[in-house]
Structure formats: C-alpha cells, structure tokens
Amino acid sequence: MTVSSQVSDGTTTASSVDLLLPRGGGGVLAAQCPSRVVLDHVTSKWGVLVLVALSRGTLRWGELRRVVEGISEKMLAQTLRTLERDGIVLREASPTIPPRVDYSLTDRGRELTERLLPLMDWVLANADEILADQG
C-alpha cells in the first residue's frame, strides 16, 4: 500500500512528514512560508481541474473551456495566467488568423501532476462513499 515511493526521478518521499513539519515549528505550517502562496495556486478550485485536464496533453483555450465544466472565461484566463507565471503551464500562441493558443504542462507541471493525480484518483474513488456516509 505504499504509494509515496514511486516517483520516477528518485526523489524520496518516505518520511516527508519531518520535512514538512520541522520539530521547532516552521515548514509548510509557518505563516510566512513561501509554499503557502504556491499551494494556494495549485490547490485552488479551478487550478486543480485545469491541471488534471492538461495532464492528458495539450489543449486549446476553447477545449479547456469546454472540458473543465462550469469554468467561466474570466476564471480560466486568471487560472492559466497564474499557472503560467508559476512556470507550470506553457502558453503557445500561433500568430495565425483565427488565433490559436495551445496550453500544455511544462516539465515542472508534469512533476506536479505526477503527485496530484494519485490524490485526485483517491478523491474520485471515495467521494460517493464520503458523501453517502453523511446523508
């Protein structure tokens, strides 16, 4: 049942708790930790879904809009801009008419989704049971 040790590049995730929670405080739980910012981008309502969508491959603006159901144009633009600034998503615009813009994951983005997908998998698999248990 060990899930954490199968990251391709050899990074060990075995006792990650100690990294995340140094004894004297700090780590992710420190108020001023920069990871708080990135964490908010990555775990934002629409950020997660966009990353999942792109994990299968490159998508155009309009495709993203359709595939991530319920997202507004404003939120899609905002989410993509944030993820692009973070170097997680790559934006490639063709100067053609009509315009064509492709979005894909960078290497960094692929590293991220490697760790995100197992979580999403679990949530998807357990959501029904979790909600059923509480009426």
Partner DNA sequence: TAAGGTACTGACATGACGGTGAGTTCCCAG
Partner DNA sequence: CTGGGAACTCACCGTCATGTCAGTACCTTA
User: In the numeric block, which tokens belong to residue 26?
Assistant: 């700090």
By a kind-dependent CB cut-off of 5 to 8 A, residue 34 interacts, out of DNA, its own copies, none, with its own copies
Q: Does 93 bind its own copies (CB under 8 A)?
A: no
Place of tokens 């979005």: 103
Q: Which does 6 bind (CB under 5 to 8 A by kind): its own copies, DNA, none?
A: its own copies
| Part of the chain binding DNA (CB under 7 A), chosen from 10-18, 49-57, 69-77, 104-112 | 69-77
Instruction: Return the axis-axis angle of helices 45-54 and 107-132, rounded to nearest 10°.
Output: 120
CB of 66 to DNA, least distance (A): 9
Residue 69: half-sphere exposure toward Cβ, Cα within 13 Å: 0
| DSSP per-residue letters across 45-98 | HHHHHHHHHHTTS-EEHHHHHHHSTT--HHHHHHHHHHHHHTTSEEEEEE--SS
Please identify, among the stretches 73-81, 95-103, 120-128, the one whose residues bind its own copies according to the rule CB under 8 A: 120-128
Partner that binds at residue 97, options its own copies, DNA, none, CB closer than 5 to 8 Å by kind: DNA
State yes or no: residue 123 binds its own copies (CB under 8 A).
Answer: yes
DSSP 101: E
Sites of contact with DNA (CB under 7 A): 44-46, 60-62, 70-75, 77-78, 81, 91, 93, 97-101
